[in-house]
Amino acid sequence: MQNDSIASHSAIATKDFVFQCGRFQLNLNRPHVMGIVNVTPDSFSDGGKYSTVDLAVEHALNLIEEGADILDIGGESTRPGAVPVPLEEELSRVIPLITRLSKACNIPLSIDTYKTEVMRAAIDAGVDLVNDVKALQEEGALEVVAANDQVGVCLMHMQGNPQTMQEDPRYEDVLQEVTVFLQNRLNLAIEHGIDKNRILLDPGFGFGKRTVDNIKLIQELSALQLLGQPLLVGLSRKAVLGKLVGGDEQQRLYAGIAASVISAMKGASFVRVHDVKATVDALKVVSAVS
């Protein structure tokens, strides 16, 4: 009961958090929606749909119209089994898009990458947030983010790597192991000079997790508020939802909305989604009753 009380207090405190996100300061007194813009041929849900700059810009502007608070741009799929792409190819996919969007839209832009050189180029092109599935573990990544004192960062937990992470993930206590990892990465980021008000944490749903692990993390999400940082949750169209409701990626809209609502009510400050308009409407109801 004491832990529940602490978690509740921390969730309330996080609502007063002002997140420094590049050119923007975001007041987290309500849940924010991160719209996904994948410029990849092989992303698990929308691979190839927005593979040109013009198509991606059109999609991004549509997501803004639907109410996205931030856009997450990715040039390399990190779905289970995905093959890494060469640095130059990832750069050629994301930098022209970031350059155009940084001039065309008035919401924060995020780069979904773990590569240090992509982070550096994306920041130079105008992104406001680095969303890293490897939590700045690549050589030089901590230093790149620390050197840009307004840019935000999201540190995510992943067991293994995208190529093998779903082959045989195992945990003795998934909540404890995720918490310890995120605490250690948070501490290291702060030691490198990255202010706490620039840091989000992501438990990494679907990244080296079994269905039982994902469900446990959803159930216990509020416990991660004890780390004192805003949380980002990405469950949109993921396999764990398919395990629960059936159907392919395109048939998980309602399950995704439910996951976003539950996450927000358990303290998530950001939900990363494909279906922006439906999620925005659902979270307006959450905000009204919270």
pLDDT in tens, the chain (290 residues): 334 444 444 454 567 899 999 999 999 999 999 999 999 874 444 445 666 888 899 999 999 999 999 999 999 988 777 788 999 999 999 999 999 999 999 999 999 999 999 999 999 999 999 999 999 999 999 999 999 999 999 999 999 787 777 878 899 999 999 999 999 999 999 999 999 999 999 999 999 999 999 999 999 999 999 999 999 999 999 999 999 999 888 889 999 999 999 999 999 999 999 999 999 999 999 999 98
In the sheet where 109-112 sits, what is the strand order?
199-202, 152-156, 129-132, 109-112, 70-74, 32-38, 270-273, 232-233
Q: What sections of 151-275 are H helices per DSSP?
A: 174-191, 211-219, 239-245, 253-265
Q: C-alpha angle with apex 59: 155 to 127, nearest 5 degrees?
A: 40
Residue 170: active-site member: no
Residue 205 φ/ψ, nearest 5 degrees:
-60, 130
Q: Say which of 79, 134, 238, 266 is annotated catalytic.
A: 238
Q: Which helix (H) or strand (E) holds 278?
A: helix 276-289
Return d(Cα 231, Cα 30) in angstroms, integer. Answer: 12
Return d(Cα 83, Cα 57) in angstroms, integer. Answer: 25
CA-closest candidate to residue 264, choices 245, 242, 246, 290? 290
Q: What is the pLDDT of residue 249?
A: 82
Q: Residues with Cβ < 8 Å from 150, sequence gap 6 or more? A: 20, 22, 23, 128, 198
Q: What is the pLDDT of residue 48?
A: 52
Dihedral over Cα of 20, 24, 30, 31: its sign:
negative
Residue 238: active-site member: yes
Return d(Cα 240, Cα 214) in angstroms, integer. Answer: 7
In this structure, which amino acid lies at residue 47?
G
Tokens of 22: 């590049």
Tokens of 249: 């990626």
CB 144 within 8 A of CB 106: no
Output the pTM of the full model. Answer: 0.91
> Furthest-apart CA pair in the chain: how many Å?
53
Return d(Cα 21, Cα 143) in angstroms, integer. Answer: 17
CB 105 within 8 A of CB 64: yes
